[in-house]
Structures are given as C-alpha cells and as structure tokens.
With several copies, the nearest count.
Chain A
Amino acid sequence: MDFGLTDEQLMMQDAVRALLANEHPPAVVREGLEAETAHDPGLWSMLAGLGLVGLCLPEEHGGSGLELLDAALMAEVAGEGAMPGPLLGHQLGSLAILLGGDHDQRARWLPALASGEAIATIAWAEPGDVWEPDHWSVEVRDGRLSGTKAHVLHGNHADVIVVGGAGSRLFVVSAPGDGVEVTSFDGIDRTRRLDTVVFDDTPVSELPEGVAAAPRVFDAGLVLLAADAFGCAHRLVRETIDYLDEREQFETKLTQFQGIKHELANMVTGLEPTRALWWYAAHALDHIPTAASRVAAMAHAHITDCSMAIARACVDLHGAMGYTWESNVHLWYKRIMFDRAFLGGPDRQRDRAASMGEW
C-alpha cells in the first residue's frame, strides 16, 4: 500500500506548471477570453511535446501509457493555470476510442490523437440537460446519424468526434465534414469553449465496445473535472492571500486581520482533505472497478461544491476589485462553474452516487 505520488508524477506536474507560468500565464489566458477561439496551437504543441495529449494512450500507439491518476494530476495543474483549450474533450474522446474501439479503430485514430496532430472530443450531452449515457436518444440508421448534441468541448477544433447514441452506444465521426454543423455556445468559461453540433445524415463508425466504455469515460470525466476544480480553488486561495498581503487598510496588512485569516483557514480546512478524495477516485478508475463509479460521482459533487464556495468567498475577500473583469479571480471562478455543471452538476452526481450505494 502506498498512497502518494511518485517522483515522476511530481516532476511532470512541475514541468507543466513551469510551462504555463512561463509560456501561458494568466495575462495570456486573458487575451484568449476575447478571442474567437480559446485554442492556441502553440500551447497545444508544447503540451504534446510534454506527452500530455496522449497521456493515457498506450505506448504502442505513441501515447505515454500512464494512468488516469496522471491525467487528473495534469487536470489539477490545468486548473491552477486556467489553461485554455481542448485538452479535456480530447482526453475523453481518445479514451473512448481506446476503451470502446476494436484493434483497427485504435490503430486508425489513436496515433494521431496521441501525437496531438488530431484533436478529439466527445459529443454526448443533448439539449434539455441530457448527460448520462443511458439517457442519450440520438439514433443511428444504416451507419448514418442525425440529431443534435449540446456542450461539445471545442467542437469546432475536433478532427474526431465520439458521439453518444441511444443505448449508450458510441460512434466516431470525422470532422469537419458534410453533415456536421458546429455552432458556438456562449458559455460561462471562456477558457474551454462549448459548441452545439448538429449531425445530419452523417456517416459514422461504431465503437463495438462503446456500451461498456461510455460509463467509464463518463466517470473519468467526473474525476478530471473534480481535479481541475481543486486546482482552481487551490490557486484562488493563494492568489487571494497574495493580493491581501499586498494591501493595507488602516495601515495594517489585510492578512493580519484575524477575521480574514480565519476565513482563509476555513477554506483550506474544507479543501485540502479533498485532494486525497480525487487521488483515490482517479486511482480507483484504473484499479478498483467496483468502487470507481460511485467515488467518481462523490468526488465530483463534493469537490466542485467546495471549490465553488471558496471561489465565492475569494471574490468577496478581494472587495470590489474581485468583481471586476480586470482581476484574474473570475478566470478560476468561472472555470469552477464549468467544472461543477459539466456532466450534470453536483446534486445529480450525489443522486447517482446514492443509487450506487450499498444501502
């Protein structure tokens, strides 16, 4: 038994942290808020260079052959840096093909996805708050799919879209292409854009193990969101301390006021123990299949709620400045809003976890 990170894992986190701090600090992230796209090909190839875009793909296909815990550790760092772009959808789409595809399908798509040459995403949600695989309604007839998918992560950048269909089936669509119409959605988090994708008689290729793969990828998504939110909240606490430490009121540092100190202490008392929760949830995805799904839902609900509460308190601690666009606070705040809502929201995950309990 060992419940800690390896030196390699810590070094990998530090490498990505350094990359983001040097090449894509918040000031650069902010420029992307206004831009038409939050995808920066330069950043993407740097991430690919670090082996991040194919992190969980097998080495035989050019991936790094690592575990979901490693992906979650990267999500934490991505949250800390409010890292923009299509990584989340790419990871989940790639994972779906890995877990659901047959030998030929993997061989066809995974190498380009592992190298970052192609970008994947998932088109799973449907309008009207449809998220879970067993709720999907889009039908495929004669190898062709028609229907509308909502909240597709960077749908406009995807070369490979893994679409969820009725009966939890998974289909792969090449994009852009005929019968794939992408419209952008005005989302809360400008660092990870969402699109609505309308498929119209689009040719698809079914992933034969898709029905088994879909819930596992869904669980992976929950854990990556939780880790991202954790990273955001952790950074926000630090940013808030730094901001308050620089400011004086009545000739006294704001961090010296005990009211502020206690509020910060309460924040980390809620947050820091949850690091072990998402570590465990991520580890369970690869190693404890009987517990994985339930604990993924728990980790998501608990951590995104905790992070959101911290974000709200951090805004207030910044005073009026915290409410401005000019402050960086809203980068992480809105990113947590995204992490919290994506895949259905905390209460829905709690209901799911409860239904999976041995009660």
Chain B
Amino acid sequence: MDLELGTHHVTLRDQVGLFLDEHWPAERRDRHVPDDEIRLFRSLAIEHGYLYRGVPVVYGGSERPIDPIADDVIERAFTEARAPLGIVGQGPDMVVPTLLRNGTEDQRRELIAPTLMGDITWCQGYSEPTAGSDLASLRSRAELDGEDWVIHGHKIWTSDADRADWMFGLFRTEPDAPRHRGITFLLVPMDQPGVEVQTIMAMTGQPEFAEVFLTGARTSVRYQVGERGSGWEVSRDLLVNERNLMGFRLQQLFESVLELARTRKIGGAPAIEHPGIRRTLIDIESDLLSARFSRFRSLTNAARGRSDPNADLAGAVKKLHASTMAKRLTQFGLDLAGADEGLRAPGGASVDLGRANEPGGWAMNYLFAHASAIAGGAPNIQRNIIGERALGLPRDLRTPTGRSVS
C-alpha cells in the first residue's frame, strides 16, 4: 500500500498548479466563461496530460499510465480552482470506455475524439416501458436489411435524448436465442426520420429525460459494437462505468456544504461551530472518504487483475451507498441553507453541483438525488442484486408462473 505523494506526484501537483495559475487564473472562478475558451482550456489540459488520461492520444486522450493518485491530484487541483474537468456524461463515461474495449478501430477513430470534446453527445437506449430493471426482457428489435440494422421499438427514461447526436443502446436481434443472448449493442444516429423524441418532464420541472420512438430507424452495421448477441456483456461493462460517476460529484457537493456551513449562522454563530452540525459533517465526510478509498481499492484490484469477493461486494454496494449518501447530503445542505432556500423552486437550467449554493441550487440537488438513486436500478433492485449476487442469498420467492427478480 502506498498513497504517499512521492516525488513524482509532488512534481505533478506543482505542475498542475502552475498550469492552472496560467490558464485558469483566479478571476475566472466566479464568472461565466464562454464555451470556446473552455474548449481551448480542455485542449491544453489534454495536451498536458491532465484530462482523459485513460484514452490513447490517437483517439484524442492524453494516454497516461493508470495512476489513480495522479488522477486524484489533478481532480483536486482542478476542483479547487473550479476549472473544467473532462466533460461528464454518458459519452465520455460510458461510450468511450465501451468503444475502447469492444469497438472497431473505425468506430474509435470516428467517435471518441469528438465525444471527448463535446462535439458529439450521446443518450442511452436501455430502459423500455416494459423492461425497467430487467434488461433481458427488452422488446425493441433490430433486423438486418443489407448493410443496415432497421430498428423498431420504444425506449424510455432516456436522458438528453432531445439534444443527443447518437443513441447507444440494446436491441433484440436474435428473437430465437435465449433471452440474454439475443441482444446486440448498437449506435444509432438520432437525426433521422425514424427517430422521434418526446421529452418527459422531471419533478424538477426540467425535461431531464425522454421517450424515444424508433420506427424503422436505421444504422449501419459499421455501428454495431461487439458481436451479434453479445449486447448483454457489452452493456454490463457500461453499468459498471455508470456507477463510478457519483463519487466525485458528491465530493463537490460536500465542498458546497462546507462553504455553506462557514457562511450560514445559527443563533448568531457560524453553523460550522454548532456542535451538532460538526458531528454530522464529520460523519458525512467519513462516508465520503470510505467511498473514495473504496474506489482506489477497486482501481488497484482492477489494475492487478485479481478477483476478491470482498472487493466484488464493495463494487456491488457502491451505487446504493452513493445514492444513500446523496440523499443525506442534499437533505443536510437544504436544511443548512435555511428556510428561504427550502421554500425556493429548484434553480438553474440544469444540475450543477458546484453551484449548489446559488439560489435554488439545493432544491435542485435535493430532487436530483432521486434521479441518481433510480437511474440504473431503483434502491430495492440494488438491494436484491447485492443480496443475491454479492451475498449469495437465494433468489426471491416467485409466483408459481413468475420468474425471479434480478
């Protein structure tokens, strides 16, 4: 075990500091920075090896050896300076790793770099009205017509579908195969007649997701990822990636809570001096530290290619742990922000955790905590997965004709 910032990492930290001083000076922190400047900054950061470190240079990344402590040094420095990190979202976080692992060379060359720069945006076509937690029962189907897959179906709970250029999703291609084996992972352009998007308003008042109706939508076989019928395996990697998103966001939220606790007063004194508040803050921070070092543990295990049932358990609980923390943290933040904020409608055009302390920011995060809890399997589904897959408990009871949960 070695977490110390060795010479190498100290040097890195200093270099990142200098880089930020030069390219993201303090006066940028609290002002609106135009998109093109952010773009330029990101290109520079990639050039310096600070962003997209796991992605080869040839695909637009900065291709550095796996080094979670370096990632951490960079993330911390960027966050403190409020400098933009890599684009967060389903493209960089889910599609790129999948293409790196399962994509063709052509797919990688065409799609990864623009995704990392935000020129191509993505939405996820997994859930269907009749297949929520149970992906194996997907009904949307794709049939081969020459060099094209032709798709008919109905996807739901698709975030950003109205803005996305592409959908990545699962479609039934082998109707006669066993349920898990008949699914293929396809990339589908959104801008075509066969794709109709209807946004769904979230309780935040924002159109956070959509239904997508696919009626004869087409995509070339060139955009099939992995073998026919292997979609289930390809998507399982994706779900693992999705579950990695939360930790860093929660860390940002915690910073916002701390800032709030320093400025808010309770009975005339800063909230951060209130003994009860202090105890809660410490407990929340302990939970976050647990999540953070659990991540280091997973990364180390992954790097070693070693299997370990306790590490698998840690992986299985990660999402439920994160969503539980998110609810606690946003409740605490909302309360700390005071009744004026507690009464305010969710604010901002979208969730921006770094701006939780702006008007309506806590309400937005408070509501959004549900979205992150529900996405990829609501809490009770998570509990079943943990119980059955990680603890080895027997499957749920079922109705005489029914199939079992998870």
Contacts and interface: CB of A to CB of B under 8 A. Distances in A.
Q: Is the interface of B mostly helix, strand, loop or mixed?
A: helix
B342 interface: yes
Contact of B403 (A250, A319, A322, A344): A250
Contacts of B344: 185-188
A330 B380 contact: no
B44 interface: no
B242 interface: no
Contacts of A340: 342
Interface stretch (A47-55, A166-174, A175-183, A277-285): A277-285
Contact of A316 (B272, B291, B379, B388): B379
B134 A261 contact: no
Interface in B131-149: 132-134
B339 interface: yes
Contacts of A262: 380, 383-384, 387
Nearest to B291: A273
B25 interface: no
B138 to A, nearest CB: 15
A259 interface: yes
Nearest to A237: B391
Contacts of A113: none
B310 A275 contact: yes
B348 to A, nearest CB: 12
Given A3-B1, A273-B314, A264 B393 contact: yes
Contacts of B132: 249, 319-320
A277 B286 contact: yes
Interface residues of B, number: 99
Interface string B135-177: 0000000000000000000001100000000000000000000
Interface string B363-406: 10001001101110011101110111011111111110111110
B338 A324 contact: no
A176 B395 CA distance: 58
Interface in B306-356: 306, 310, 313-314, 317-318, 320-321, 324, 327, 331, 335, 338-340, 342-346
A266 B391 CA distance: 11
Interface in A226-252: 237, 241, 245, 249-252
Interface stretch (B14-22, B31-39, B89-97, B196-204): B196-204
A1 B73 CA distance: 12
B339 to A, nearest CB: 4
A350 B127 contact: no
B203 A129 contact: no
Given A265-B387, A276-B314, A326-B200, A295 B300 contact: no
Contacts of B249: none
A299 B301 CA distance: 22
Contacts of A350: 278-279, 282-283
A250 B396 CA distance: 11
A333 interface: yes
A208 B375 CA distance: 57
Nearest to B71: A1
Contacts of B393: 241, 245, 255-256, 261, 264
Contacts of B40: none
Given A1-B67, A69-B1, A302-B287, A320 B390 contact: no
B313 A258 contact: no
Nearest to B273: A359
Contacts of A269: 317, 320-321, 324, 383, 386
B374 A4 contact: no
Given A129-B338, A250-B134, A250-B398, A324 B200 contact: yes
Interface string A346-358: 1110110110010
A78 B342 CA distance: 21
A338 B340 CA distance: 10
B286 A351 contact: no
B56 interface: no
B290 interface: yes
A221 to B, nearest CB: 13
A241 B402 contact: no
Nearest to B406: A250
Contact of A266 (B261, B339, B383): B383
B391 A347 contact: no
Most buried by A among B380, B391, B394, B405: B380
A250 B279 contact: no
A1 B396 contact: no
Q: Lowest 8 A-B CB distances belong to which pairs?
A: A341-B342, A1-B69, A276-B293, A251-B402, A325-B201, A302-B286, A3-B296, A330-B203
14 contacts: A3-B293, A252-B398, A258-B405, A259-B383, A265-B384, A272-B313, A275-B297, A301-B283, A302-B287, A323-B202, A340-B342, A345-B335, A350-B282, A351-B267
